[in-house]
């Protein structure tokens, strides 16, 4: 499996949801928890939540360099 996304076991550990309950599947309950927690995810064709590892580890999701903010030369030191 890829290191890009969390495994099913890691998603269960993160959300604390391992089984379905009250008419909802495990995946539906995990999705509800992820939404209320503000963790970005996608769902695949099986409606399983797919979470990028970078969202949990705090890494940038792109390799795009950070741009410096524009600053007038008058305020630049040196």
Tell me the per-residue pLDDT of 45-61, one tens digit each, with 9 for 90 and over. Answer: 999 999 999 988 876 65
Give residues with Cβ within 8 angstroms of 39, minimum separation 6: 14, 51, 55, 56
DSSP letter assigned to residue 52: B
Confidence label for 32 from pLDDT (cuts 50, 70 and 90): very high
Q: pTM for this one? A: 0.70
State how far the Cα of 57 lies from the Cα of 55, in Å rounded to an integer. Answer: 6
Q: Give the mean pLDDT of 26-46.
A: 95
Are the CB atoms for 20 and 26 separated by under 8 Å? yes
pLDDT at residue 5 is higher than 90: yes
């Amino acid at each position: 499996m890829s290191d890009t996304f969390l495994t099913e076991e890691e998603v269960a550990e993160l959300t604390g949801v391992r089984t379905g309950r009250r008419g909802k599947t495990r995946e539906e309950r995990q999705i509800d928890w992820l939404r209320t927690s503000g963790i970005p995810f996608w769902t695949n064709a099986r409606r399983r939540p797919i979470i990028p590892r970078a969202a949990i580890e705090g890494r940038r999701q792109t390799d795009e360099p950070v741009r410096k903010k524009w600053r007038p030369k008058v305020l630049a030191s040196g």
